[in-house]
Structure 1
Amino acid sequence: MFHFQGTCTYVLSEQCNSGLPYYRVEDILFSLDIFAGFLQVNGNFASTPFSLSNGTVQVYESGFSVFVSTDFGLVVSYDTNHYVQISLPYAYQNGTCGLCGNFNGIRRDDFQTRDGEVVSSDVVFANSWQASGDDEPGCGPQCGGLDCAVCSVEETALYSNTDHCGILSSSSGPFAACHEQLPPQSIVDSCVYDLCVGEGYQPILCQALTVYASQCQQSGIQLPSWRRPGFCEIPCPANSHFESEGTGCPPTCVNPNSTHNCPLPPQESCICDSGYILSGGVCVPHAECGCSFEGRYYRSGQTVILDENCGRRCSCSYGSMTCHSHGCGPLESCRVEDGERGWSYQTFDGLTYQYPGACRLTLAKVMGLSSHPHFMVTAEKVPRGQHGFARILHFEAEGIHVSIEMARNSKVKVSEWNTCLKLCSSFNIYLCVHGHNTV
């Protein structure tokens, strides 16, 4: 157990020095971006569950987490907030590297840097695993290890009592049944540490309790209800309700019989009410299920343009996909939206290309030590509503940040308009947005 407050992208775990199938987990869950039942994979948004690489990679939701599993035994889960867990088969012993260590059963050599040196400093160790190509300005640890939290004796005593983190280790508390299998002290220590950093913010406590409860349930230990009104309650979306021992394989429109022979243990979940079923992360009446079409799932009412030449316009209506021939007009060119092709770019030297990218990309910035004023322009795609996405440009210069949002309805929103005018005037620059996604 170690604490590291870095703000860059880091390699959590990677296959090293073995002939086994290669994998790498960076920062948060394979760089998957998650929003309301949609996940972005290599620039493309898809609704869970789905598979990749001819079924060798499965992506699905269970409880409050998204899981990625491979045919060689790697399983990564992410609760879309703060907790990532990576599981590997024993064949990978002594064949991993990264922040999660080398998996050789020896703790004292886990702080092995990218260069193979075993160090005593967790900060030196973790910094060595910064992902290649991550050069965001200002990223890096602001403090080291336990020094990041200034926790007084009084605060330690307060946050360790049974009204706070101490509830985890209480022999008469709701988590006692799990103590023998999973000693709670490391979670308690982290909980106290985080509460010191967060000045007692209750959601931090709830996160720690949720992590331990989830680990217990994954180990087959069911706990008595520990949430209560006003304390770590779970609000559920429309047409669903909270269950402390919900199914690990919730029925979906893609697989309505998923609860049969479910291999996953029961866990805390928001379960669709009777008569409803999950459709792209939303509980809908059974009759309103969408369409499974050419390896993708589309919600009812969704219309998409398919094929590289935009040759088909297809609409999903209550389980039936209807497609018609489609072509671009004389003043139009084919560009598949919503991540299929992504943004179009033209370099300062006139090279034009398309790149699906991730959620946020750097378009231009001042490099290294320069006499020129610092600026940085980034672009990102953000989900809006259940089906749409907005493109946002972020412009930073001289401590000022302006965001320009381009919605699908062609409207433009600019944060701090007066600041934007002053900034663009002083730098003598123009940001031109052509159409919906060309910069």
Structure 2
Amino acid sequence: MVRNSNGKCVPLSQCPCVFGGEEYNDGETTMSNCNKCVCKQGTWQCTENECKSTCSIFGDGHTQTFDGKWYHFNGVCKYTVVTDYCGEAEGSFQIVTQSIACCEGGVTCARTVTIMLPEKNIVLEDGKVTVVATNSTAAGAEDDEPLITKGLNIERVGLSTYVGVDGIFSLQWDQSTRFSVTLETGYKGKVCGLCGNNNGDMKDDFTTRQNSVEAGSLIFANTWKTETNCKDTETEIFPCDKNPYCKLEAEKKCSIIKESTFQSCHSKVPPDSYYDACKRDACICGMQNKDSGLCNTIAMYAQACNNAGACIDWRSPTLCPIYCDYYNSPGDYRWHYEPCGTIKSKTCNDQFVGQKFSNVVEGCFAKCPAKAPYLDTNLMKCVSQPQCSCFYKDVVPAGSTVTSDQRDT
């Protein structure tokens, strides 16, 4: 017999396990990243799958690297987020972010994301996705190759746009200021940039473009500028010190992250770093946009919770509301908000549910009727198949034509 956490003597087979501050009885399971763990006589037995790594950038330059290191950097240039062109290595992709002011008198946040691939760039900006050919082959002059090729997936789901390159990465973008990049397992220790080197060790995440390791974020991040004519960022801005009259209100509003609304997530995703980021962002903007940073940071924590298996329904009519009725025609109520939803209709891209996308995300979702059974994710409308739009550099409405290699298609 052994003593459990309640002071009772129990057989060894009944010993609980502890994970994230919570007790699990013998035989119960939980997930640790991508591995399933089973409690066996007080000890966790877990699968040993190699997990994908995710880096996130949001709000006023808040960054969590692939290896889990947190830092803040609010530079105003273009910076390499992640690339496999490291040192003299041959590479296949580069992701760059452009930082600009979020609001008048405010500091910066990431708004524009450019994904650079061989022969094409994908630009995410102001809620739109644009694909741009970078040489004549991609434009179709020689091989008539389409811009959206096999292995490249662009999909709008809920509030997010997903861009994925098979075997390399997937990127989730909220169509505004925050995005996350998830690398496939084959890229362990093979990348560099603001997101670190993805080698499982936080201590060398501040590796510069020159392959030296810095102690602080400023020198490190400045080396990842992509434009030499842009000045280095020399000081870190602390918005609550600059606007001390906002601090108490910021602490009050951001406290939702640490309170009962998110309680089921606290053991899965520690809230402290998100709470600190929320306070910084809530102190930034003036009265007109005072809640934009707050809402984005809380949404980022909710997304992390959702990814960890804890669905949090945190929005309300008075706190960062989402109005899905915008997509409904008069008398039509098929569109509605879900904190953790997925596509429930056939889409114009996939022709049936779930072919490419299985993630559960926040956003506006519709159940399309029989007379318009296809969800056009480009236009956020339920349509018949002949009404489906296409994508070539940008959204092309049904019936329209584009010119490729001097031919109409």
TM-score category by the smaller chain? 0.5 to 0.7
Q: 1:222 aligns with which of 308, 311, 317?
A: 311
Q: 1:221 to 1:293 in 2, by over 3 A?
A: closer
Matched residues in 2 for 1:221 and 1:156: separation?
Answer: 29
Equivalent AA in structure 2 for residue 113 of structure 1: T
8 Å CA contact retained: 1:272, 1:278: no
Identity of aligned residues (%): 25
Equivalent AA in structure 1 for residue 78 of structure 2: T
> Is 1:209 aligned with 2:298?
yes
User: Which has the bigger relative contact order, CA under 8 A and spacing at least 6?
Assistant: 2
Matched residues in 2 for 1:253 and 1:53: separation?
Answer: 15
Q: How does 1:12-411 map to 2 (within 5 A)?
A: 12-15=81-84, 16=86, 22-27=92-97, 28-30=113-115, 32-34=122-124, 39-43=129-133, 54-131=149-226, 134-135=227-228, 139-140=230-231, 144-147=235-238, 150=241, 155-161=246-252, 164-170=253-259, 172=260, 174-199=261-286, 201-223=290-312, 225-236=313-324, 237-239=326-328, 240-247=335-342, 251-259=346-354, 262-264=357-359, 266-272=360-366, 274-275=368-369, 276=372, 277-278=375-376, 280-286=378-384, 289-290=387-388, 298-304=396-402, 306-310=403-407, 312=408
Equivalent AA in structure 1 for residue 267 of structure 2: E
8 Å CA contact retained: 1:111, 1:118: yes
Matched residues in 2 for 1:96 and 1:123: separation?
Answer: 20
Secondary structure in structure 1 of the residue aligned to 2:264: helix
Matched residues in 1 for 2:185 and 2:280: separation?
Answer: 32
1:157, distance to aligned residue in structure 2 (A): 4.1
Matched residues in 1 for 2:90 and 2:180: separation?
Answer: 20
8 Å CA contact retained: 1:58, 1:70: yes
Secondary structure in structure 2 of the residue aligned to 1:189: helix
8 Å CA contact retained: 1:253, 1:290: yes
Secondary structure in structure 1 of the residue aligned to 2:78: coil
Secondary structure in structure 1 of the residue aligned to 2:71: coil
- Give the TM-score normalised by the residue count of structure 1: 0.59
Q: 1:287 to 1:87 in 2, by over 3 A?
A: closer
Q: 1:39 to 1:147 in 2, by over 3 A?
A: closer
Matched residues in 2 for 1:185 and 1:122: separation?
Answer: 19
8 Å CA contact retained: 1:11, 1:25: yes
Q: 1:181 to 1:272 in 2, by over 3 A?
A: same
Matched residues in 1 for 2:213 and 2:199: separation?
Answer: 14
8 Å CA contact retained: 1:77, 1:86: yes
User: Which deviates more, 108-117 or 6-15?
Assistant: 108-117
Q: 1:54 to 1:283 in 2, by over 3 A?
A: closer
Q: 1:87 to 1:235 in 2, by over 3 A?
A: same
Q: 1:188 to 1:143 in 2, by over 3 A?
A: farther
Q: How many positions carry a matched residue from both structures?
A: 297
CA RMSD of aligned residues (A): 3.5
Residue 361 of structure 1 corresponds to: none
Equivalent AA in structure 1 for residue 262 of structure 2: F
8 Å CA contact retained: 2:155, 2:377: no
1:82, distance to aligned residue in structure 2 (A): 1.0
1:156, distance to aligned residue in structure 2 (A): 3.8
Matched residues in 2 for 1:91 and 1:181: separation?
Answer: 26
Residue 327 of structure 1 corresponds to: none
Secondary structure in structure 2 of the residue aligned to 1:268: strand
Matched residues in 2 for 1:294 and 1:145: separation?
Answer: 41
8 Å CA contact retained: 2:131, 2:394: no
Secondary structure in structure 2 of the residue aligned to 1:150: helix
8 Å CA contact retained: 1:63, 1:269: yes
Matched residues in 2 for 1:261 and 1:39: separation?
Answer: 19
Residue 357 of structure 1 corresponds to: none
